[in-house]
Structure 1
């Protein structure tokens, strides 16, 4: 509510307003006037009696009228007191233009702490400090000191950099496209990207969100907001700092591969965000989204008046792993009728430089209406007799109603500038090269593809992972008790085995004699490896001896390994060696790992393994929790994935087994936040069998308990429970899962029209695929959805669903529930609602509310039984049920 008032104010106070041309206070006042802001403006500055003809006030406390927001442009030292006064005056928020916050050091950080201490008691939202200001074109609001105002549009733009804001504004004016909002977030003391994505995601008139980002605060909130909004509208980000972020590494293969910038890539993809790498790319995508819908598929048709540029466009597509769409015989036949005999007869469509503009126009109409085309790129260069300006004029009107997205690339200098201006004035996306246009098409198609993968309904799998969490807890507990920072190899493999991750048997020998005895027990040939928590990479000290076939070889190897280790690492605590079976020569080697990042929490890694892992760097990353679909996507990003299918004399691997190992690894680091890193390298592959022959696990004290160390909410297993109906039927309550789509659909079909009306307050004949995805693929940070299940296996039936949906303020929520007709009145609804209320209480929800139709007497009776207060909604046939925090605790 406060953010809505902040961005849609009826009145604005400008604290630090001035009349000196060139000052920030003057520029803010000037922008408010020139954009035609219709609300009241209150200049505040003790130096002036009036500013720009409006009476000025010495202090905001002197105004005495209701205000929605204030823009503050005063020295930083005065701002805590000003913020307190704004809160007392009932403002929704403030925009702090002033610099002098944390960017100046400890003194500035202390100043920011004081500002928030004054803002929080009033729930006053703060944008900035050190920002350019905010703009909302639908309200004619320009509360900034920008040199120009944005044109109206549907794209919301967010930036931490004021300089990027002004640059984008300049370019947008040149290309004639506009924005719904233009927000400079500055230091993000309070309002951050997550807040803004949540807000813009809820606005129907905002079609897409574009961001320039330097850092993320509250990453879990950011991921939650982005995952919700990206399903509704495109989100594009340019994240700077690639090289600086990539400089960080850890003392493990996984750490070296999982640089911070790569983690941002994984996080953005998981959130459904399109990441671009250059400012030009950010701007080009922004322009396209402002003028066109994003393409629904990869099929790009290319029309050109010259062969060379068409080939360049095809090459650009190939560089992104794409090809021009293949035309159907019907499309080719239509083109044959209107083009010269020697036209290219394929895609790109080369209409030839001597062809008249009318034929080019007809080719465009055919290509844009071709069902196989998901987008069309029009290229024109000043070749032959083509009138580039006249063609642009002729195309401009037609392209406004084209049935698919269209990009134009009029290539050249002064001869085509006016043609590009025609396109810009007509709202047609235009670029100065075919390569730029192709990159935009690729980026926005990839966004759509990422969204499809996010919205994929997983195959239902009733098999639960069998893990021995107690054994794993004992291993890690003993290490924690001893203050260890890593597990010995044998302990690490035992931990993996507890979670069902395949590893070879490993025994520790602390003497030559024991090494020989264990070798006999294991069976020759054997492998000896140095056993020390202080030596992470055994190859650094010749700490591995392979294919030892006799006791004498074992004895010699033992001495050599310990001697070399002590020489290379004189301070290392060496326990002896491990004895393992010599594995046959592998077909190839993989790596599976996990790294706990300071900001992103655990990150899972998969790729090509072995000692050259860091050289070839063929790997992909993902964020837990993982499911089969997400694990499969990780695998498919790597080049080694092609070998998994089988190659020449190499047998194929059961890819579902690798997916399962990734899921189990993700579950392990989810369950134990003290795990800092896991390296399973190599995970050898021989004749389709997978075995971890080396593993290391690093640990450190955890700051938070599981699962709060994750940036994506995980499946809340704590709400699983067995229950019994009042007439003795057992049923199982658990949180809903993405794979429950079929069960939910069957449950919906089990409801009578009356029950459907009671639940949805309107007649619903079916659940669309989009609705099924929305109801099953939930964010457990934003929603509690518990289901009641009867039976097991294929015959399992969903007999009830109860939801509690959190409000944006995080303190209130509303509930809804539906029970299959033939199971009503047996206590299932009571059990579900109680379980949901307990979960809401766990989350700190202070109040849960719900609307119930007057004829739904069963629900009204249950509400009264559980302690809800019940009140008739004025002039309505509905009752509102409300339960407070203290009553929830007692349910």
Structure 2
């Protein structure tokens, strides 16, 4: 995560073209021409020893001969020259080099390293940043920079486009020019050997000239950095993506093209959703979605009302709506009655509202006003097919006037060719989303619905009483260690049950039997009716070999089942090893649902949790949803809601609803298991039975990694439980100091209410009466990889918070928030900006110092160099505290603000003088 030197990429002062050429068709010539045609105002300096000038511009023989140090250098030389050119640019002081062209990753040095890696190694000593290789270059129209060999000239705009494919980049630019779409930047990332998605997204997130960020993704490297960057950006501006490689064959092709590992497409889908990205399928859809997000107000839900002057367009819209997962709004009886009063008797009588092909502007206006007042409609789509009766442009003016009177989302589709163009211009000028076809209009509506849902997920607050449990982590790790000692990576079902039991997950009691008599004894102890299963490390799915016997009522039936299972396995799987048999009591829950919960290890995003319908036909049903850990109640419920079986779990007819609270709690426990047990490679629970009486694991399998080597981190950093501690305040009260959690939002609102107006002014540099949910969610739902907020909580009712157990949250029943310190790291990981505030009625008890010392220690552990803060000049207590803690107070550019700075990395000592030369003799 670094934006170091990226200002030189997007706003360079001088540009050099290494390998500039006059040879027709060469990359060096095209790049020079594009730079000159783009209107870049700074020096453009071609470097090539074979030319005196290139495109009429004086050329230089070598990088060392350049009269000005270039911020940005474009390297267009043959691949074997690139590492040396990178080294020379670094020595000269250039800040970014663009490695235009392909072949560096497939050409090798005499030492066996690729030329791409050699270029990275050459850049490292100087800190020179590299874009590419295998890149088209970049275009920044705002500064007249076309540092690419793209054929199209891109207009200015407020959309940034990042692509891993140069071919897609040129196609998008051609499409944009044809559609009149402008860009704030277009960056071809290429192979991402240095500068990657995360770096550029971090930069663009703070770029005021960029309104939306579009991505074309083939593969992601550094999943945590990528997701952290996107999640931060998506809170402030739309981020949309096309992800190629949806099918297995396409995924293999993408991996070959980009030289990166591909994760399963469903995992990418889950990761993009978790990051707040709206995923679309094609280029046209990408730009349509941007316009939709810019023009269409966020609807409250997915209920759409459709107004049309023809039945056919309305039916097309309904088909697209249902296929896309939306709902046709049910018109209120009073709405239908009002429409009856203004429409002819032959109108459709419901939604879609077909007002007839002979409709004039007055009929459109009256019907539209009525629909916009129906509270059961989340948005209204107006369709118009050309007729000889009505001027489409006049109807468009009616719609534009109606849009001025309502805040309800309104979108339109005017069918036809050139004849519909004037109406579309009127609607566009009025800022109303308009589309060529009803299908595109509905797709735009569902984009807005989907984006609203994604944004809501970024901001939803879990219940204030979270899922709390105390797993026996040592016991779970001991099971894994025991299997490893025996050289096994696949745990037995009994071992898997012990791990689940360590996390409070109820499993059916299982006993192992080596032969029929041991099975009879086990069944008698557990109780009849019994179940007997084969126990074989060679058989993954027992049902594949009919290796399960159910409803065994007595000892004789158990003995017969053992004989049958042994014979059956010898016949169907003669090479499999039969260790023995597993015996369980038969569970009869006839109205329970069979579910699947699994953990898979994706090569890109690490552990991923799956949930869906289970049973023996799970592969055929393919009803599952995926999510990245860690999970909380909101995220667990959202994942469940993306499956078809979720509707059944809510109950229907005489079948009561399953215990969804217990089910979401199980998913949270599985999520915590993933966090605590990095050696667990996979988990498969199938079936998990769920009904109104709760959930029960019937069958579970666990695999672990082969050795104890450290695994890659989770794609999203989990809650840092190791930073939780209890302390004793000056008044003797015990308080807990811990990182903030999303569940803290209600308590945080109450904390702000306890601040005096003066303290609010000191903290927020202004008067704030109340924070909205969205604003408060930004304070409590943080990315622990990029920022940290420590809160102090204690009880005021005479009780006390118990001592914190290592790695666990304490019981905070009745506790209130006393103070908070917050620190945000810059993208380069060098500086951190802090803010601290203590409840106004609790000052003078040493809490501020405790909070500051905790955050200072944390910043040191993260390798931060400086902690910086802004303090109002008249906030004398805070200035005094900062001096006590070792901060330096500096003047600021603002008259009423001072800056306080704490250097955590001591300055390097001055060089020691060389020892005097020894005197001869």
TM-score (norm 1): 0.91
**Residues 592-629 of structure 1 deviation map (CA, whole Å, 9 limit, x = unaligned):** 11111121111111111111111111111111100001
Question: Cα distance, 1:668 vs. partner?
Answer: 0.6
Cα distance in 2 between the residues matched to 1:539 and 1:326:
46
* Superposition map of 1:7-86 within 5 A: 7-86=10-89
Q: Tell me which of 856, 878, 898 is aligned to 1:878.
A: 898
* Alignment partner, residue 678 of structure 1: 683
* 8 Å contact kept, 1:98–1:131: yes
* Alignment partner, residue 248 of structure 2: 244
* 8 Å contact kept, 2:104–2:115: yes
* 8 Å contact kept, 1:515–1:579: yes
**Residues 106-139 of structure 1 deviation map (CA, whole Å, 9 limit, x = unaligned):** 9997111111112233332222211222112222
* Alignment partner, residue 6 of structure 2: 3
Cα distance in 1 between the residues matched to 2:26 and 2:428:
33
Deviates more, 1:780-789 or 1:539-548: 539-548
**Residues 826-853 of structure 1 deviation map (CA, whole Å, 9 limit, x = unaligned):** 2322222222222223322233233344
Does residue 94 of the first structure (1) align with residue 97 of the second (2)? yes
* Alignment partner, residue 255 of structure 1: none
Question: Cα distance, 1:57 vs. partner?
Answer: 1.5
* Superposition map of 1:186-335 within 5 A: 186-244=190-248, 260-289=264-293, 297-325=301-329
Cα distance in 2 between the residues matched to 1:165 and 1:299:
36
* Superposition map of 1:143-222 within 5 A: 143-222=147-226
Question: Cα distance, 1:100 vs. partner?
Answer: 0.8
Q: Tell me which of 687, 694, 699 is aligned to 1:694.
A: 699
Q: Which runs of 5+ in 1 are unaligned?
A: 249-257
Cα distance in 1 between the residues matched to 2:303 and 2:443:
14
Question: Kindly tell me: are residues 724 and 247 of structure 1, through their superposed partners in 2, closer, same or farther at Cα, counting changes over 3 Å?
Answer: same
Question: Cα distance, 1:801 vs. partner?
Answer: 0.7
* Alignment partner, residue 594 of structure 1: 599
* Alignment partner, residue 765 of structure 2: 761
Cα distance in 1 between the residues matched to 2:570 and 2:596:
28
Question: Kindly tell me: are residues 405 and 738 of structure 1, through their superposed partners in 2, closer, same or farther at Cα, counting changes over 3 Å?
Answer: same
Deviates more, 1:640-649 or 1:136-145: 640-649
Aligned residues: 877
* Superposition map of 1:820-839 within 5 A: 820-839=839-858
Question: Cα distance, 1:290 vs. partner?
Answer: 6.2
Question: Cα distance, 1:405 vs. partner?
Answer: 5.8
Does residue 752 of the first structure (1) align with residue 756 of the second (2)? yes
* Alignment partner, residue 564 of structure 2: 560
**Residues 731-785 of structure 1 deviation map (CA, whole Å, 9 limit, x = unaligned):** 1111100010111112122222333333233343332322211100000000111
* 8 Å contact kept, 1:677–1:699: yes
Question: Cα distance, 1:408 vs. partner?
Answer: 4.2
Cα distance in 2 between the residues matched to 1:34 and 1:422:
34
- The alignment partner of 1:739 has SS state of helix
Question: Cα distance, 1:549 vs. partner?
Answer: 2.2
Question: Cα distance, 1:663 vs. partner?
Answer: 0.4
* 8 Å contact kept, 2:309–2:383: yes
* Alignment partner, residue 533 of structure 2: 529
* Alignment partner, residue 512 of structure 2: 508
* 8 Å contact kept, 1:851–1:881: no
* Alignment partner, residue 253 of structure 1: none
Question: Cα distance, 1:392 vs. partner?
Answer: 6.8
* 8 Å contact kept, 1:178–1:290: no
* Alignment partner, residue 915 of structure 2: none
* Alignment partner, residue 868 of structure 2: 849
**Residues 550-597 of structure 1 deviation map (CA, whole Å, 9 limit, x = unaligned):** 222222322333444455555545431111111115323111111111
Question: Kindly tell me: are residues 691 and 295 of structure 1, through their superposed partners in 2, closer, same or farther at Cα, counting changes over 3 Å?
Answer: closer
Question: Kindly tell me: are residues 364 and 648 of structure 1, through their superposed partners in 2, closer, same or farther at Cα, counting changes over 3 Å?
Answer: closer
* 8 Å contact kept, 2:738–2:792: yes
Cα distance in 1 between the residues matched to 2:561 and 2:336:
72
* 8 Å contact kept, 2:868–2:899: no
Cα distance in 1 between the residues matched to 2:352 and 2:858:
58
Question: Cα distance, 1:698 vs. partner?
Answer: 0.7
* 8 Å contact kept, 2:380–2:409: yes
Cα distance in 1 between the residues matched to 2:398 and 2:883:
70
Cα distance in 2 between the residues matched to 1:875 and 1:613:
64
* 8 Å contact kept, 1:852–1:881: no
Q: Which runs of 5+ in 2 are unaligned?
A: 253-261, 796-800, 802-811, 908-921
Q: Tell me which of 402, 408, 413 is aligned to 1:409.
A: 413
Q: Tell me which of 615, 618, 624 is aligned to 2:620.
A: 615
* Alignment partner, residue 137 of structure 2: 133
Cα distance in 1 between the residues matched to 2:81 and 2:404:
52
Q: Tell me which of 467, 474, 480 is aligned to 2:478.
A: 474
- The alignment partner of 1:610 has SS state of coil
* 8 Å contact kept, 2:135–2:191: yes
Cα distance in 1 between the residues matched to 2:328 and 2:54:
60
* Superposition map of 1:537-556 within 5 A: 537-556=541-560
- The alignment partner of 1:70 has SS state of strand
* 8 Å contact kept, 2:244–2:251: no
Question: Kindly tell me: are residues 479 and 35 of structure 1, through their superposed partners in 2, closer, same or farther at Cα, counting changes over 3 Å?
Answer: same
* 8 Å contact kept, 1:409–1:434: yes
**Residues 136-163 of structure 1 deviation map (CA, whole Å, 9 limit, x = unaligned):** 2222222212221222222211111222
Question: Cα distance, 1:649 vs. partner?
Answer: 4.0
Question: Kindly tell me: are residues 5 and 325 of structure 1, through their superposed partners in 2, closer, same or farther at Cα, counting changes over 3 Å?
Answer: farther
- The alignment partner of 1:236 has SS state of strand
Cα distance in 1 between the residues matched to 2:299 and 2:467:
38
- The alignment partner of 1:447 has SS state of helix
Deviates more, 1:126-135 or 1:562-571: 562-571
* 8 Å contact kept, 2:230–2:276: yes
* Superposition map of 1:380-391 within 5 A: 380-387=384-391
Question: Kindly tell me: are residues 760 and 400 of structure 1, through their superposed partners in 2, closer, same or farther at Cα, counting changes over 3 Å?
Answer: closer
Deviates more, 1:808-817 or 1:379-388: 379-388
Question: Cα distance, 1:184 vs. partner?
Answer: 1.5
| Coordinate RMSD, CA, aligned | 3.3
* Alignment partner, residue 805 of structure 2: none
Question: Cα distance, 1:170 vs. partner?
Answer: 2.2
Cα distance in 2 between the residues matched to 1:857 and 1:574:
77
Cα distance in 2 between the residues matched to 1:427 and 1:46:
54
* Alignment partner, residue 813 of structure 1: 832
Cα distance in 2 between the residues matched to 1:735 and 1:865:
24
**Residues 366-395 of structure 1 deviation map (CA, whole Å, 9 limit, x = unaligned):** 877988765554433344445557867998
Cα distance in 2 between the residues matched to 1:109 and 1:358:
74
TM-score (norm 2): 0.88
Cα distance in 2 between the residues matched to 1:844 and 1:278:
42
Question: Cα distance, 1:512 vs. partner?
Answer: 2.6
Cα distance in 2 between the residues matched to 1:397 and 1:113:
60
Question: Cα distance, 1:506 vs. partner?
Answer: 0.9
Deviates more, 1:402-411 or 1:34-43: 402-411
Deviates more, 1:312-321 or 1:757-766: 757-766
